[in-house]
Chain A
Amino acid sequence: MSERSIAVAFEKARAEERALLVGCMPAGFPTVERSIAAMTAMVESGVDVIELEIPYSDPVMDGPVIQRASDIALAGGVRVADALRVVEAVTATGAPVVIMTYWNPIEQYGVDAFARDLAAAGGTGLITPDLIPEEAAEWLAASDAYGLDRTFLVAPSSTDERLAMTVAHCRGFVYATALMGVTGARERTSEAAPILVGRVREVTDLPVGVGLGVSTGAQAAEVGRYADGVIVGSALVRTVLDAPDEASGLAALRALSTELAEGVRAVRS
């Protein structure tokens, strides 16, 4: 394991007998500087790891909240190179930053070049929602070359064979999509998620993060009982999206981050 690996943060949380909190935010939403301020506020309020999403024009795995935030970021002119600048700035706060990105922006940047620049910026690796291991030869090579983590997704519909194959290609942690669907807050967390996490644990010792649908401290606590990491996206993004101004948006973001951080700490007490 490289010292940059996100697994270091998972180990720390495990030592504290709690789940890790991963908070997602699109780079450049609503501007590059304000997205850095938002992620810094999240870290200061107890978010352990920042999942930085590179805005993409056609985000098929994302629900309406992250779509709108991505559209706003793109309309503001954010570039892939800006996302790397955000990685550097947020990494400086001490929190690990993992990038979540659809594949085409990376392919156009150049897979090897992106891996090189992400490593130089201090990022831990990539979560790739529309890249499956069968299509990932170039990324497997580049992530090996630069010591980056790679997180592929597993889903409730994954067969045992595919799940084992996918997990075998992961490094850092495994992303379990809690339900069949897209990102976005749900009133109830998924019943399929603990089963899926159990299936992953049968084939790996890697930490398992659960995403899709978590929006409250209580839900974070519930998911944290069986998962190593709780991944929250849309609910956090919505605080900024719905706020009338930057200050109130940041205040709401801090409040929710604090609630979620307490949630993952309430887990095993």
Chain B
Amino acid sequence: MTAPPLTSGTAAVPDAAGHFGRYGGRFVPEALVAALDELDREYRAALADPTFQAEFDRMLREYAGTPSLLYRAERLSAEAGARILLKREDLNHTGAHKVRNVLGQALLTKRMGKPRVIAETGAGQHGVASATAAAYLDLECVVYMGELDTQRQALNVARMRMLGATVIPVTSGSRTLKDAMNEAMRDWVTNVDRTHYLIGTVAGPHPFPAMVREFVRGIGVEARQQCLELTGALPDAVAACVGGGSNALGIFHAFIDDADVRLYGFEAGGEGIETGRHASSITGGSAGVLHGTRTYVLQDADGQTQESHSISAGLDYPGVGPEHAWLNDIGRARYEPVTDAEAMSAFQLLCRTEGIIPAIESAHALAGALRIIPALTAELGREPTIVVNLSGRGDKDMHTAGRYFGLLDERQG
């Protein structure tokens, strides 16, 4: 199978200014507008350029290992009472869907003639992916990471440095992902002439949400075709976890026009929405402006950003991509929270039934899929087919899982 063409036939949104309904747009310092306009022009030109497409396609196939498998999880399906197909993005190089986005943006950076990329990272996954793409394409790479996160994820800091990146601990604010994003934005304002800001998800100011979607939408294009080949029909539902939302949009997008395919985004419910300790921006937040875009935000009555909480570092973000906000409001996709405990239960189930250790992020998608099976079965009058985006692998989460399930010796825990 060849990789899908980049240009999307269903991109009725966003509009030319990056609005998805009332969401999206640009809420940035004027100093950045020229760079955003340049980026908008350049990525559109790149998408229309067969040479760029061919090179991106080659990198994805030869370097990242796509198309990823769509795997029929037999034992899990028997256990769950539904036909569950796993989109194995965990098998990509660097172990997650994120490699698609960073390769696309790094290649675009080369095309724009800029020698330097910067990135923000929470747990370090996007930072590692960015450092990887930078090494592969010979770009200077600087990664901003909250000081708290550099301590919690020391191994990923070492991985980034091993790959040649500079990691800068961010000491402002809450010293986590959102502050790393602020600091990256400040770097970008200062060094925009020679620097591309490689944002890790479908958030940020226009054109980032639309551009990142274009680079990751191959997930859904592949899954849709693979599902047809494997089962002779489209799935009844597609499930994905949602932090910023790039893996979810990546798999949703090819199914947007398939009205019978239900789209489910599962947000990090943390300790439960009612506790206030969660990262469910759509379910538990409200419309506001954060990091250059209008979307759902966890915030107080004064519009100050509130801290998010999740056992999964990759979902621990107080905002969400604006297209998800829009898909929620128009009812095309449903968003529900999945608690830490539900996600860890699904994490264990997949390990034991399939011999696959998922990222805790992806375990949220699986937990949500398991939850919707009874209602979906009743509605359809038969066993449903559900495609779950297994967006990443769980090696990085073994310390968390080991502690959660009490698997570590005292001195290791």
Contact = CB atoms under 8 A, between A and B. Distances in A.
Interface of A: 56-61, 63-64, 67-68, 71, 74, 79-80, 102-109, 129-132, 134-135, 152-159, 162, 166, 177, 180-182
Given A107-B289, A182-B190, 10 more contacts: A56-B304, A58-B178, A60-B28, A60-B29, A104-B289, A130-B289, A130-B292, A153-B30, A180-B31, A181-B189
A157 B34 CA distance: 6
Given A104-B297, A109-B303, A181-B189, A157 B35 contact: yes
Nearest to B306: A57
B265 interface: no
B203 to A, nearest CB: 13
B313 to A, nearest CB: 19
A109 B172 contact: no
Contacts of B290: 58, 104
A67 B183 CA distance: 11
What class of interface size applies to chain B in its complex with A?
Answer: 35 or more
A85 B102 CA distance: 47
Interface string B285-302: 000111110000101011
A154 B30 contact: yes
B31 A155 contact: yes
Contacts of A107: 288-289, 303
Interface in B208-260: none
Nearest to B291: A58
A177 B190 CA distance: 12
Contact of B173 (A67, A106, A162): A67
Nearest to A130: B27
Interface of B: 17, 25-35, 172-173, 178-179, 182, 185-186, 189-193, 288-292, 297, 299, 301-305
A154 B28 CA distance: 12
A60 B34 contact: no
B204 to A, nearest CB: 11
Contacts of A56: 303-304
Q: A-B pairs with the 8 shortest C-beta distances? A: A108-B303, A155-B31, A104-B303, A105-B303, A157-B34, A181-B190, A104-B289, A57-B304
Contact of B289 (A63, A103, A181): A103
Contacts of A154: 30
Contact of A134 (B17, B29, B179, B302): B17
A154 B193 CA distance: 17
A63 B290 CA distance: 18
A106 B294 CA distance: 13
Contact of A132 (B30, B172, B192, B304): B30
B30 A180 contact: no
28 contacts: A57-B173, A57-B304, A58-B291, A59-B182, A60-B185, A61-B29, A63-B186, A67-B173, A71-B172, A104-B303, A109-B303, A130-B27, A130-B29, A132-B26, A132-B28, A134-B17, A134-B26, A135-B27, A155-B29, A157-B35, A162-B30, A162-B33, A177-B29, A177-B30, A180-B189, A180-B190, A180-B192, A181-B189
B173 A71 contact: yes
Contacts of A68: 172
B103 to A, nearest CB: 27
Nearest to A67: B172
Contacts of B178: 58
Most A C-beta atoms less than 10 A away, residue of B29, B190, B291: B29
Nearest to B288: A104
A214 to B, nearest CB: 17
A156 B33 CA distance: 11
Contact of A103 (B27, B172, B182, B191): B27
A114 B24 CA distance: 23
A108 B29 contact: no
Nearest to B174: A57
A137 to B, nearest CB: 11
Nearest to A153: B30
Nearest to A157: B34
B29 A158 contact: no
Contacts of A80: 302-303
Given A58-B291, A103-B289, A157 B27 contact: no
B20 to A, nearest CB: 14
A171 B290 CA distance: 26
B289 to A, nearest CB: 4
B352 to A, nearest CB: 42
Most A C-beta atoms less than 10 A away, residue of B33, B192, B288, B302: B302
B303 A129 contact: no
A209 to B, nearest CB: 14
Given A158-B30, A181-B190, A104 B299 contact: yes
Contacts of B25: 134-135
A134 to B, nearest CB: 6
A115 to B, nearest CB: 16
Contacts of A159: 34
B215 to A, nearest CB: 24
A58 B29 contact: no
B108 to A, nearest CB: 19
Nearest to A61: B29
A155 B190 CA distance: 12
B27 A155 contact: no
